[in-house]
Amino acid sequence: MSDNQTDKTVEMVSETHASKRPYADALLRLKQVGLRPTRQRMALAKLLFDGGDQHITAEDLHGMARKATVKVSLATVYNTLHQFKESGLLREVVVGPGRSYFDTNTHAHHHFYVEPAGELVDIPVDSVELSRLPSPPDGTVMDRVDVIIRVTQA
C-alpha cells in the first residue's frame, strides 16, 4: 500500500513532469525516509530509481555517477547504499563471495543468478510456490526466505 502509493508517484512524475522536474521523485523518496536531499544523494537516488529495477554493485553505481559527471566519492556511494538499505529503499542480495548487489526492487521476490555472467534476474514471488517450510530452530523467528536459482549460460 505504501509501496503502491510510491509507485504511483513515480509513474506520475516520470510521465508528466520528468522533463520539468527531474528530481521530484528522488526528493520525495529522501524526504520520506528522513535523509537530507544533498547533491550526492539526489544524484544517486536518481540513478538508482529512475530506470526500472536494477541490481547494482557499489562500484557500478560509482561508475554510473562518474559517467553522469556527478562528483561523488566511493565512500559516499557506500554510505548512501547502506542508508537506503536501512531505510527500506533498497535490498541487498548476496550471491557469491565478494559479490553483493543492491536491488531497487524491495518487494518480496526471488532471483535467478546467471553464471558466469554474474547477472541477477528477478523472479516474481508468486511464480515460486514454497508449499512447505520447516519451523525455525528453537529460540529463533523467521525473517525472510530467499530463493536463488543458479543457472549457467548454455
Dihedral sign for Cα 118, 94, 145, 137, please. Answer: positive
Work out whether 41 is an interface residue with DNA (CB under 7 A): yes
Distance CA 29, CA 89 (A): 8
Work out whether 67 is an interface residue with DNA (CB under 7 A): no
- Tell me how many degrees the CA angle 92-97-100 measures, rounded to the nearest 5: 20
Work out whether 36 is an interface residue with DNA (CB under 7 A): yes
For the bound state, the minimum distance from the C-beta of residue 62 to a second copy, rounded and expressed in Å, comes to: 16
Using CB under 7 A, which of the segments 10-18, 53-61, 107-115, 122-130 binds DNA? 53-61
For the bound state, the minimum distance from the C-beta of residue 4 to Zn ion, rounded and expressed in Å, comes to: 18
Sorted by sequence, the CB contacts under 8 Å of residue 16 that are 6+ apart come out as none
Work out whether 6 is an interface residue with Zn ion (CB under 5 A): no
**Distance between alpha carbon 13 and the CA centroid of its chain, in Å?**
19
Work out whether 119 is an interface residue with Zn ion (CB under 5 A): no
For the bound state, the minimum distance from the C-beta of residue 148 to a second copy, rounded and expressed in Å, comes to: 5
Which of Mn ion, a second copy, Zn ion, none does residue 146 bind to, with CB < 5 to 8 Å depending on kind?
a second copy
Distance CA 128, CA 12 (A): 31
